[in-house]
Amino acid sequence: MRRTLALFASSLVLWALVTQLNDALAGARVYLFAGALFVAFAALTQPHGAGLAAAILGGLVCDAHAPVAFGLHALLFAAAHLALFRIRDRVPRGDNVSAIVVVLLTNLALFLMFSFTQISASPVPAAIWPRLIADLVCSQVFLAVITPWFFALQAGALKLARVSRFDA
Amino acid sequence: MPFKRFDQARPFATLTVIVIAWALVPTAVKTFSRASFFELTAPITVAASKVRDLQEYWSLRLHTTNELIQAGQDAAHIASKFEFAVSQNQELHAEIARLENLLRLPSFSDYRYEHARVARRDFSGWWQRLVIRKGANFGIPVGAPVIFTGGVVGRVAEVRATTAIVELISSPGLRLAGVIEGDDRPISFQGGVNATFAPPAGIVEGVPLDIIATPALPKRLVTSGFGGVFPPGLMLGTVTRAAIGSDGLFQFGDVQLDERLGSLTEVTVLVPLGAP
């Protein structure tokens, strides 16, 4: 429980940071999507149950602020968590570069899946892709910069909660 | 071997169980959970907004006395212009009321003006929304029109305890009826594709064939007043292009919206009088 709460608290910090950045970038019509960060650390290093619960809770926070069916982010994050958890033994843990690569690939998949669920609302679905691609590029650059810090933040949160950093 | 096969499929089985379990959760529980998660994070949004206000306050404190005197004089000039406009407005309202009585016309809806600070902007390619720092605590209803000095901002989409979410007119999910200024035929307006580093945009459909709009000769699009949500005559944007549609009966076109929509800090909610 403490592990899940520590991970969820870090997710709230991430959510607050990303929403404030999006607020600042609104005038330039740039939007950052950082879905993979809600999932990656927990999926790569934490026990299955606690990590999945934290990913779903993070998804529900995103859902509460978006005009989408409640649970869409949560289900996408859960799917991403399960996929990452399955391959985590083949990914070097504690290595920043591999963590960034995993986060970027996960974010790409989440962004595309989310876009396909939302694109029907657009009056001109084909014309929206340049904007989405621009947002995706900005998001990936942002994630590449922020991932090591956020992984360290989550590790710090676990230390504060007095639970081990890695799943035994 | 069968156990190994199941082990490989376990993540998919887990996901299927989660999806089925989520689908079986009653809507009331989902609605309550959504509101709970929103209210859990609302203080973060409001606190960040108040910190920005404080930053602005301290940056304004750095202005010199001469700059403040100049700003005061400018404000006095604007106030005198507005005083004149207010007196004219009162006369026009009295005239409208007299004509309504004379012709036995139904009167326009009346509104209470609720000014609200913008707490957060959320402008993705999928939707464009604002969070404002007033909600059910100020009697703001869902669906109320939201305006600013440049015209229509959008419509209140959700109301929470101390905040409300406004869907912008640039959002693809928002549709409303407009008219070209000086014309009385309704046109369908919808939020459009908002390109990166470009002004917000919308689209129009059902434009009569005799209306010509080009970038050199744009037409002002205003609210029609039909449907009773938005009062008539509020600025929506400028129709910069109109081309004949595939049916040949109407035109469709592009609307350029006010660039300030992306940097709003204060808006006004029109709360219909008599709203619960």
Chain A with chain B: Cβ pairs closer than 8 A: 127
Residues in chain B with CB shorter than 8 Å from the CB of A56 are 18
Cα–Cα distance for residue pair A98/A87, rounded to 1 Å: 13
Min distance A48 CA to chain B CA atoms (Å): 10
Q: Which residues contact B244 (CB under 8 A, 6 or more apart)?
A: B209, B250, B251
Domain B175-262 of CATH type 2.40.10.350: yes
Q: Are B175 and B190 contacting, i.e. CB atoms less than 8 angstroms apart?
A: yes
For A39-55, b/e burial (b = at least 16 CB within 10 A) is bbbbbbbbbbebbbbbb
Map residue B140 onto helix, strand or coil. coil
Cα–Cα distance for residue pair B116/B131, rounded to 1 Å: 10
Cα–Cα distance for residue pair A109/B190, rounded to 1 Å: 29
Residues in chain A with CB shorter than 8 Å from the CB of B36 are 64
Q: Which residues of chain B have pLDDT under 50?
A: none
Q: Are B189 and B206 contacting, i.e. CB atoms less than 8 angstroms apart?
A: no
The pLDDT of residue A43 is above 80 = yes
Work out the number of other CB atoms within 10 angstroms of the CB of residue B124.
Answer: 23
In the numeric block, the tokens 């740039």 are attached to A30
**Does the beta-carbon distance from A22 to B125 stay under 8 Å?**
no
Q: Residue ranges per domain, chain B? A: 2-61, 175-262
The pLDDT of residue A144 is above 90 = yes
What angle (nearest 5°) sits at the alpha carbon of residue B183, between those of residues B182 and B184?
125
CA nearest to B186, candidates B244, B120, B142, B236: B236
The pLDDT of residue A168 is above 60 = no
In the numeric block, the tokens 């406009």 are attached to B85
Name the more confident of A43 and B228. Answer: A43
Which residues share a beta bridge with B207?
Answer: B251
Across A6-132, the runs of DSSP E, i.e. the strands, are none
Q: Are B256 and B237 contacting, i.e. CB atoms less than 8 angstroms apart?
A: yes
The pLDDT of residue A118 is above 80 = yes
Residues in chain B with CB shorter than 8 Å from the CB of A9 are none
**Does the beta-carbon distance from B172 to A12 stay under 8 Å?**
no
HSE-up of B32 (CA within 13 Å, CB side)? 5
Q: Are B264 and B132 contacting, i.e. CB atoms less than 8 angstroms apart?
A: no
The pLDDT of residue A167 is above 60 = no
Please name the amino acid found at residue B260. Answer: R
What angle (nearest 5°) sits at the alpha carbon of residue B42, between those of residues A76 and B127?
50
Average pLDDT rounded to a whole number, residues A119-142: 89
The pLDDT of residue A142 is above 70 = yes
Cα–Cα distance for residue pair B223/B25, rounded to 1 Å: 41
pLDDT at B111: 84
**Does the beta-carbon distance from A123 to B191 stay under 8 Å?**
yes
**Does the beta-carbon distance from A121 to B173 stay under 8 Å?**
yes
Residues in chain B with CB shorter than 8 Å from the CB of A114 are 126
Residues in B 11-70 with any Cβ partner in A closer than 8 A: 11-12, 14-15, 18-19, 22, 30-31, 33-38, 40-41, 44-45, 48
Cα–Cα distance for residue pair B130/B165, rounded to 1 Å: 6
Residues in chain A with CB shorter than 8 Å from the CB of B20 are none
Backbone angles phi and psi of B37, in degrees to 5: -65, -35
Q: Which residues contact A118 (CB under 8 A, 6 or more apart)?
A: A68, B126, B127
Share of residues in chain B with pLDDT > 70 (%): 94
DSSP letter at B197?
Answer: T
Work out the number of other CB atoms within 10 angstroms of the CB of residue B113.
Answer: 9
pLDDT at B230: 86
Residues in A 7-36 with any Cβ partner in B closer than 8 A: 12, 15-16, 19-20, 22-23, 26-31, 33
**A86-115 confidence digits (pLDDT tens):** 888 888 877 889 899 999 999 999 999 999
Look at phi and psi of residue B163 and say left if phi exceeds 0, alpha if psi is from -120 to 50, else beta.
beta
Q: What is the enclosing helix (H) or strand (E) of B201? A: strand B201-207
The pLDDT of residue A12 is above 90 = yes
Cα–Cα distance for residue pair B59/B138, rounded to 1 Å: 29
Cα–Cα distance for residue pair A161/A149, rounded to 1 Å: 18
How many H-runs (helices) and E-runs (strands) does chain A carry?
6, 0
The greatest distance separating any two alpha carbons of chain B, rounded to the nearest whole angstrom, comes to: 89
Angle between helices A48-64 and A2-25 in degrees, nearest 10: 30
**Does the beta-carbon distance from B122 to A60 stay under 8 Å?**
no
